[in-house]
Structure formats: structure tokens, C-alpha cells
Structure 1
Amino acid sequence: MTAESDPELFWALRGGGGDFAVVTALELEPYPASAPYGGRVIWPEHRSREVYDAFLEITAEAPRELSVWINRLQPPGAPPMVTLDLAYLGAAAQGEGLLVRIDRIEGAISDNRGVVPVADLGAIAAEPTDPVPSITRAELLTGLDADAVELLLAKPVEPLINLQIRHLGGALAEAGGGAGASGAVAEPYLLGLLGLGLPHAADATRARQAEVVADLKARISGRKPYTVLSPGDTAAKSFSGGTLARLREIKRARDPHNVFRANYPVLGQTGSPPLGKTHRCE
């Protein structure tokens, strides 16, 4: 299947979720690129304001080749810390020049910046690859300024493990033009909140996530990318009314028996019109 052979289904599969088909193979076109420059820099918690100030300065003028995430971390059993995760698609010397502001922050615990093979880009954020009982929540931010930083730093991260801000833009902001259901992401920042999902910690995790979102309410857009929806959200959070209506029509036409099921179905999780009798394997 291609955009030419089945334009409607191809459009839906590009950002519309898993309600429509099972993808069994992909053909990818490689693009030439130099080895990126990047890494993670870690400071103790008391450097958080300085690191946030640098984050705001860097992301205000960052070229599309530069990605920057800031994390307030509270690892279980370890002291709190603040980190910057960095990746620049270009020569190391250029990346160093764009990030020189970081070098003025003293007291780094660790700094592993350098040339990063493309295959190792995912290791920059040092996230676990094994399943972890966790609860996540994400929100798109319409902006980030000094007042928002005050709110983010006013309270401890605990009982969360990570309070993260990702700078967006670049290709995400340009993904319109009808190429796929996901559309463009105009918001410049993504807030991510991660905490333990163990029975003794789940309620506190959800409460702290809700508290952070309430503190930043004036800057939260109310929509979010489909890939960061979490329990309690619906697909309507991710799509405009017109896009959602189009996805629903494709679902009804292509899968009337609801064989393919996404975690966040375009027809809704409750109260949706029935598609028809569901097939079940015995």
C-alpha cells in the first residue's frame, strides 16, 4: 500500500493510531547524515535554576537540527539532580558552539557530550529498556518563560521520578499539508511527568502529576500528540473535529467489525456507536 494505491488508509495510518490495519512491512528511504553530536550533562539539584535559564536561552534560538530536553530527576534512593539531554545533527564543532551557554554552569557531575553514532541516539536519555511499572502523563505547553520556571521549581519532584520539558518545533511543527492524520504540532514544548506505578506509589504519583498540570494550567494547550496519550485520555485530545470525523469514517468503512483495536480508539472507549458484531477467535 502506498499514498497512491490507497490514499485514505495511508493518510489514516500516518498518525491516526492502530484502529485501521496491521502493518507487516515497511520500505524506508535512507537519508545521508553525518554522525550527530550530543549527550547528557548532569548537575546537582541546586543548579536547577541556572540550567533552566540556559535551557530557555538555547531553545529560544535553536536551529531545527538541535534537540534539547531538560529533566528534574529524583531517582529512587539517590539525590535529586537536573540534566540536559542534547542532540545536534551536524558537525561536533557547530554543536559545541550552539551549546557554549552550558559551559558557564559550574559543578557538573557528569558530561558525556561527543560524537554519537545514529544507532546510539536513544541511549542519550538513559531510559530503561526493560518493562517498568510506571505512570506517565504528558501535556503540550503553549510557551515557557521565567514565571513558568518559578512554578516548576517551587516544589520537589517527589513522588515523581522525572519532571521533563522537551523542546519541539522543527519537522513536528511543519508536519501539515495533509500528509497524515497527526498534523502539525504548533506548541513549542512538551511536559512529561513520570512516576512509579507500584501499588504503594500510584495514588501519590497521579496526585503530583495533577498538581503540576494545575500549576501550569494557563500554559497547557489542552491537546496532545496521539503517541503520548495516557489512561483517561481519548483520541479526541489529539485531533481536530474534522480530522477525527474523517478517521471515524475510514474506521467504519474499512473495519466495520472492529477487528483492529487501538488503545485509544477513534470511535471512543465508551458510549460510541457500535460498529457491528465483533469477531472473536475461539
Structure 2
Amino acid sequence: MLNIHFPGDEGFEQATRPWNLAVHQPVRAVAEAHDADDVAAAVKLAREAGLAIAAQPSGHGASGDVEGAILLRTRGLSTLEIDPAARVARVGAGVAWGQVQAAAGAHGLTGLPGSSPVVTVTGYTLGGGLSWFSRAHGWASSSVRSFDIVDAEGRSSTVTRDDELFWALRGGGGDFALVTAIEFDLHPAPDLYGGRVLWPAERAPEVLEAFKEITATAPDELTLWFELLQFPGAPPFVAVDSTYLGQDASRLLAPLDRIGGTLSDTRGRMPIAALGDITGEPTDPGPGASKAQLIGDLDGILERLMPIDPLISVQIRHLGGALARPSDSAAGQLDDPYLLYLFGLPGVEERQQEIIDGGRRPYTFLSRGESAADAFPAETLERLRDIKRRHDPDGLFRSNYPVLGGN
């Protein structure tokens, strides 16, 4: 049964909180759904009240653009089914990636998760989903077989490849329908090698050169992230995080071993379910400010980035591989070989803006003050807007970054 919370109710403020506690969500009500019928009831309630509805399983990626809307929590949609023979998973809108990886990993299979085990599959996939394994297998959205949805009229259906919504939902965000479940392909992963190598920050020039050397010829099964880290009360560090879909990447990562002063090295064979341990991201909500940009080369990048204070982390992700190939989804093709991602506590926005010089960023990396127009090429954005106008003409659904917003 659909549970509704209104301002003034006990626990209302807690129910509105997103993952990023720096974001305020001035919603009219919070609805907690436990199945697809509850989601349909929430849509009908919103229509009758003349309000928009915004779905947030866990609140990751919230922009705060929900004023006057009904906030729909879908954590209760917890279906998780693995068919190891068919290599297919079916998950409800409240299921997190850590749950999927634990279940799939038991069969030598993997989904296409990012760095955090607590991010939900649905929200991540609707934004495209940039995975540790995207160089080998593309966007997480590229592996989707079908979406179970509730449309703007409150009707339930299954969207497959022959429906134009299928294209839009694979990377275009949650602006077109409320997704209650996703079915997607799993990929063979009998072996996984990965971990983090950490050095003092003064080794950053050597580490970056090794990173560039490795990524220049890396096979698609190997993914590297270069990181500058400045934790409160600690000296600055530089790190390289890596994953390899295979038994051993020691030979491929040999340039890292030529760098002296290593503080720690966690590389080795690891279970699929432990993927989130590589970066050790927080698993509880907290305040933050982020900014991202696709970049074409790394010339002069350290001069722009260092010292990183007052930022906490600066990450350069190696892209390419399957991401650089044509994609029949809204997520599209990424021509740039790297992604720059900046994170810090609120108050670092001016420093972030000094580093970021414009350009495109993936939809799932948009931050407050940005819009869908910053993520998609003009032709893709116009197609998404056309689908939005036809499938949700009254603007009932409001994603974190609406496609009709911005320029």
C-alpha cells in the first residue's frame, strides 16, 4: 500500500533527504511505493492534484529541482532475480548494485556497476551508467533488455527495443516514465583482478606518466582511474585504481611498479562482490559538491589540478573501448578518451569552476546548476525533448535534470 508523508508529519524531513545532504528538496509530499501498483497509484494521485512526480530510490544524483512535486521513493521495489543460464538479471527499482554483484558473482557473472555498491541499478542505468567494465561492454544502459514502466496515464507496461521509449530510457534519464523494474544482460566474469596503488602526492607527475603509458595501449578489459586525494587532516596522495576482467594484470600495469615510494598496494584477484572496496567510497549520505567534464588529452592537466586543496578528490577516468563505438541509445558515443571528476565539500565550487573549462559531461555526472543541454549533443537532446512532449505532454514526470530544462 502506498504510504504518503506530508510536511509536518513525523519523519517527513528525513524522508525528503537525498544522498547529497547539501541539496534541499522542497517537495509537497513523499510517497513510498512497495510495488508497481503503488507506483501507478502515485501517478494517479499526482495527476489528480496537478503536481509533478519525481522518483528517487536512494536520492543519488538529486539536483533539488523538485519544488512543489511529489517525491516518490521506490526502495520497496526489491525484486532481484538472476538467471545464470541465460545470463540475465531482473531487478526492481529499489535494488542496489552491491546486491546484484553479490548474486551475480556467485555464478561467475557481473553487471556493469560503477564505483559504489549502494547506488541503485535503476537510477544509474537511466543516466547511462558509466561502469568499471564499460570499456569492455559499453554503458550499463546498453545491456538493458526491457523496462517495466508506469506511464503518465498510470498504465503499466513493458518497454522493449521496438518502442521509442527504449532508446530514451537508455541514458536519457527518468523524464519519460516511472521505471519499476529492469531486465538486463549479465557478462562473464570468472576472474577479476583489481585494487589501488597509493603514493605521496609528490609522485603525481611520475604516476600520471605511467597512467598515460598504460592507457595508450590498454585492452578493453583493463580500466584505470588516476586520483589525487586530499583527506581532511592527512597529507595529499596520488593513486591509480584499476580493474581487469582476467586473472592477472601485473604485466599490463608494470609501469606503476617502476615508481618508488609506494605507500600501499591492494592489487590482486578479488571477488566481483568486492568491487566497491577499490575506492572505498562512503556508504552513508553526506554533503558534497561535484563537477565533471569529458577531456581529450592530459597535457598540462597537473598544472590545472595541483594543489587540489580545498577539493577532496580529483579523478581522471580512462574511457574509450566500447564507449567510443556507435551506440543506439540516448547515452550515445563518447569520443573523448578521459573523464575528469572533481569532488569536495560545499564551498569548493569556485575552485571547481576554475578547473572545468566547459564542454560536455555524461548525463549521470551532471551537477547542480547544469542541465541536460550540458550532457547531450543537440540532435540527441531534441529527439529526447520530442519524446518527452509526446509521452508526457503535461510534464508529470520530473527527473533530476529535465530534458526540457536549460538551453
Q: Which bracket does the TM-score occupy, shorter chain normalised?
A: 0.7 to 0.9
The reply on whether 1:208 has 2:330 as its aligned counterpart is no
Structure 2 match to 1:278: none
1:103 deviation in Å?
0.8
Structure 2 match to 1:277: none
Which secondary structure does the structure 1 equivalent of 2:324 belong to? helix
User: For 1:126 and 1:230, how far apart are their aligned partners in 2?
Assistant: 22
The reply on whether 1:89 has 2:245 as its aligned counterpart is yes
Which secondary structure does the structure 2 equivalent of 1:265 belong to? coil
1:34 deviation in Å?
2.1
User: For 1:185 and 1:74, how far apart are their aligned partners in 2?
Assistant: 29
Which secondary structure does the structure 2 equivalent of 1:59 belong to? helix
- Check 1:151–1:5 CA distance in 2 against 1; reply closer, same or farther (3 A cut): closer
Among 234, 250, 275, the alignment partner of 1:121 is 275
Among 219, 224, 231, the alignment partner of 2:368 is 231
- Check 1:265–1:79 CA distance in 2 against 1; reply closer, same or farther (3 A cut): same
Structure 2 match to 1:148: 301
User: For 2:362 and 2:381, how far apart are their aligned partners in 1?
Assistant: 13
1:140 deviation in Å?
0.6
Provide, for residues 128-176 of structure 1, a one-character-per-residue CA deviation record: whole Å limited to 9, x for no partner.
Answer: 111120000001101113x333443xx31110001111111122212x2
1:5 deviation in Å?
4.6
Paired letter, 1:41: V
The reply on whether 1:192 has 2:341 as its aligned counterpart is yes
Paired letter, 1:62: A
1:75 deviation in Å?
0.1
Structure 2 match to 1:29: 185
- Check 1:4–1:207 CA distance in 2 against 1; reply closer, same or farther (3 A cut): closer
Structure 2 match to 1:245: 382
Paired letter, 1:107: G
- Check 1:4–1:55 CA distance in 2 against 1; reply closer, same or farther (3 A cut): closer
CA contact (8 A) 2:161 2:167 kept: no
User: For 1:184 and 1:232, how far apart are their aligned partners in 2?
Assistant: 24
Structure 2 match to 1:104: 258
Paired letter, 1:158: D
Paired letter, 2:330: A
Paired letter, 1:167: H
Name the % identity.
Answer: 54
The reply on whether 1:10 has 2:166 as its aligned counterpart is yes
Structure 2 match to 1:279: none
- Give matches, 1:51-70, under 5 Å: 51-70=207-226
The reply on whether 1:182 has 2:325 as its aligned counterpart is no
**Structure 1, unpaired ranges of 5+:** 272-282
1:3 deviation in Å?
3.1
User: For 1:100 and 1:30, how far apart are their aligned partners in 2?
Assistant: 30
Higher relative contact order (CA 8 A, sep 6+): 1
Pairwise CA RMSD? 1.5
Structure 2 match to 1:20: 176
Paired letter, 2:355: V
CA contact (8 A) 1:3 1:11 kept: no
Provide, for residues 227-270 of structure 1, a one-character-per-residue CA deviation record: whole Å limited to 9, x for no partner.
Answer: 0011121111111222111111111111112221111111115x
TM-score (norm 2): 0.59
User: For 1:111 and 1:138, how far apart are their aligned partners in 2?
Assistant: 27
Question: What number of residue pairs does the alignment pair up?
Answer: 250
TM-score (norm 1): 0.84
Structure 1 match to 2:318: 167
